[in-house]
């Protein structure tokens, strides 16, 4: 039996499958419209899924770029550590090369000692110093270096000792390298400061050109190649 439906235009009963009403000639587009709507719905769903997959792919790509960038930045932070000689006891010529080194305190007040042998006696001491900021030493093959609360760098591989603000504080500086030659006013930080000018960085009494305990400001003139050491004092090169 043929299924019937009413024509939406004239109300005549016609075959459900008829595309045109035989009485009024009105087209029956219901089936096609339904098919079109279903097709549009499917396309919308497919588009949404594609968008989600695209977003996920972009996120993974961006995350990958972030990881790569962070990974590439790590070797730069390790570069300085590769040149660092940490606190410890070293034999020159065996554990480290002979030469000039800069010692930088790592915990407030450091200590460095150079000895001619490993006997541990006072007679074996070539030089020693309590390190405020930094100091500079020269060591020879066969000597021993003892570092406490300090790190050491070869002279040409040390971090910069030039202050960005132009104010030099407790430390030892090579004239012509870390500080220009000239006349400077040394200002003590407290009741007692200290200043010393050396001809080399061997650290013995024979190296000292002049030294003084400061209870007030003092002018000092230094030349290229000399070494300037200040403790509990400062030099403002901006003035």
Q: What is the DSSP letter of 160?
A: P
Tens of pLDDT, residues 136-151: 999 999 999 999 999 9
Share of the chain above pLDDT 90, in %: 64
User: How far lies 121's CA from each of 7, 116, 138, 141, in Å?
Assistant: 120, 10, 21, 19
pLDDT at residue number 33: 42
pLDDT at residue number 82: 86
pLDDT at residue number 80: 63
The answer to whether 191 touches 154, Cβ cutoff 8 Å, is no
> Could you tell me which residue, 209 or 59, shows the higher pLDDT?
209
Segment 34-63 mean pLDDT: 50
> Could you tell me which residue, 119 or 66, shows the higher pLDDT?
119
Instruction: Give yes or no for residue 121 having a pLDDT over 70.
Output: yes
Distance, CA of 184 to CA of 194 (rounded, Å): 14
Instruction: Give yes or no for residue 44 having a pLDDT over 90.
Output: no
φ, ψ of residue 215 to 5 degrees: the values are -110, -5
The answer to whether 101 touches 151, Cβ cutoff 8 Å, is no
pLDDT at residue number 177: 97
Distance, CA of 77 to CA of 85 (rounded, Å): 16
Instruction: Give yes or no for residue 43 having a pLDDT over 50.
Output: no
Non-local CB neighbours of 80 within 8 Å, separated by 6+ positions:
159
Instruction: Give yes or no for residue 132 having a pLDDT over 50.
Output: yes
Show the tokens assigned to 53.
Answer: 């997959």
pLDDT at residue number 92: 99
Tens of pLDDT, residues 168-212: 999 999 999 999 999 999 999 988 999 999 999 999 999 999 999
Domain residue ranges of the chain, discontinuous segments joined by +: 1-30, 82-159, 161-238
Instruction: Give yes or no for residue 231 having a pLDDT over 50.
Output: yes
The answer to whether 129 touches 112, Cβ cutoff 8 Å, is yes
User: How far lies 82's CA from each of 34, 63, 106, 110, 162, in Å?
Assistant: 74, 30, 16, 21, 21
pLDDT at residue number 38: 47
Sheet (strand 233-236) strand order: 167-168, 233-236, 182-188, 218-222
The candidate with the shortest Cα–Cα distance to 168, out of 239, 224, 238, 235, is: 235
Distance, CA of 207 to CA of 201 (rounded, Å): 7
pLDDT at residue number 150: 98
Instruction: Give yes or no for residue 31 having a pLDDT over 60.
Output: no
Give 7's pLDDT tier (boundaries 50, 70, 90). confident
Summary mean pLDDT of the chain: 83
pLDDT at residue number 221: 98
| 3-state DSSP helix/strand/coil % of the chain, to nearest 5 | 25, 40, 35
Predicted TM-score (pTM) of the model is 0.67
pLDDT at residue number 79: 62
């Amino acid at each position: 039996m043929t299924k019937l439906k009413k024509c939406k235009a004239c109300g005549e009963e016609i075959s459900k499958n008829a595309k045109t009403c035989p009485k009024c000639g009105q087209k029956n587009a219901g089936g096609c419209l339904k098919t079109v709507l279903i097709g549009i719905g499917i396309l919308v769903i497919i588009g949404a899924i594609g968008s989600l997959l695209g977003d996920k792919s972009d996120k993974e790509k961006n995350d990958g770029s972030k990881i790569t960038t962070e990974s590439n930045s790590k070797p730069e932070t390790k570069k300085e550590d590769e040149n660092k000689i940490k606190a410890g006891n070293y034999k020159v010529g065996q554990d480290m090369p002979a030469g000039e080194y800069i010692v930088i305190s790592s915990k407030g007040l450091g200590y460095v000692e150079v000895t001619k042998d490993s006997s541990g006696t006072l007679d074996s001491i070539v030089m020693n110093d309590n390190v405020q900021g930094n100091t500079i030493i020269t060591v020879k093959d066969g000597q021993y270096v003892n570092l406490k609360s300090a790190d050491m760098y070869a002279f040409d591989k040390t971090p910069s000792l030039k202050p960005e603000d132009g104010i030099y504080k407790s430390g030892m500086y090579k004239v012509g390298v870390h500080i220009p030659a000239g006349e400077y006013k040394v200002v003590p930080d407290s009741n007692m400061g200290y200043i010393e000018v050396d001809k080399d960085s061997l650290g013995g009494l024979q190296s000292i050109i002049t030294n003084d305990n400061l209870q007030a400001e003092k002018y000092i003139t230094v030349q290229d190649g000399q070494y300037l050491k200040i403790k509990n004092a400062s030099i403002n090169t901006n003035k």
